[in-house]
Amino acid sequence: MRRMAVGLLVLLSFFAYNAYTYHQLSSAEGAYKLAEISSGEKLIAVYHDENFWQFATYNPQSQELKVYYIGQNSPLFFRTKKTKTARTQLNYSPLALDVKLLEKVPKETPALLFAGKWHTRENPSKFPTVEQILKQYDNKTIRRVAILYAKKELWIKTYLHVDSHAYEIGTEDVLVIPSLSDKPSFIPVIEIPNGEHTSILAVYYSDVTITGSGKTFYHGSFKLNGQLIEAILNVSTHHLTNNTSFAKIESYCFFPNAGLNWVSVEKYFKGISMKERLPAWYLNRKTEDTPLKCNKQRT
């Protein structure tokens, strides 16, 4: 009888705890509390969809970018909590949010809190056009250009897993937010040489440009021209499908010429952005050469 009573108490405690966390996840403030984000981290983005939340934070002291995922499908199940961390040379401080904005979360999902405003499908965030940004760099020397797209969720630091190797899918420390628009919108990223082994990086969001500088993984440089801009725009227009959940279109030096590379994730499930590595059969990948010659000289 005593064992039965203890077992019943444990079972009731299980349901009580799960009911509590499920109730907490019904509000942005409750979910934020359950995420247990430290005081040194600045909240820079929030994403909410059915039964889960994501919080993106930036710690200026440790120069860490983090994405927290917390969700629970039912009071009958434990909550799921995951964290992704990337070291960053970018300064995300201009995107810091007032946590009081969590009180104003819309009823519609998916919803995104970014740059001080909540966005939904009816009121998506306005991205700068890729053409508008790239034309600012026409005929200028760059090290890399990339445009990034997410249909759902907050993305950082994702890799393609092939045998024992891992190849970067996204851009490690760039936070990719979903466009929430029927017409895909991209986040442009420009890397400019600042010496032989260092670069200045600029990431163009809706009304805010994030910048940073430091060591680069990319070598060489090339002059961006109208032909490559047109090629990038063409890929962005014709290579996304209804199944695309994330995409990166990128150009950098594949000596002797600059190459154009694109990769897209053609699958979606809840929490996919929190996976460190994705199998090859989730993706569509292609690389092609361009006529642009790479410069190996110091810049």
- The pLDDT value given to residue 68: 98
pLDDT-derived band at 162 (thresholds 50, 70, 90) equals low
Which pLDDT tens digit goes with each residue over 24-80?
666 889 899 989 999 999 999 999 999 999 999 999 999 999 999 998 764 545 568
- The pLDDT value given to residue 23: 46
- The pLDDT value given to residue 147: 95
Which pLDDT tens digit goes with each residue over 267-285?
999 999 999 888 888 988 8
Question: Once rounded to an integer, what is the mean pLDDT over residues 82-90?
Answer: 95
- The pLDDT value given to residue 254: 80
| Full-model pTM | 0.89
Question: Once rounded to an integer, what is the mean pLDDT over residues 200-228?
Answer: 91
pLDDT-derived band at 1 (thresholds 50, 70, 90) equals low
- The pLDDT value given to residue 103: 94
Cα–Cα distance, 84 to 107 (Å, whole number) = 27
Question: Once rounded to an integer, what is the mean pLDDT over residues 134-149?
Answer: 94
Percent of the chain with pLDDT over 70: 85
* Residue 15 clears pLDDT 50, i.e. is over it: no
Which pLDDT tens digit goes with each residue over 66-82?
999 998 764 545 568 89
- The pLDDT value given to residue 157: 87
- The pLDDT value given to residue 277: 85
Distances (CA, A) of 45 to 89, 252, 285: 18, 29, 29
Mean pLDDT of the chain: 86
Give me the count of residues in the chain. Answer: 299
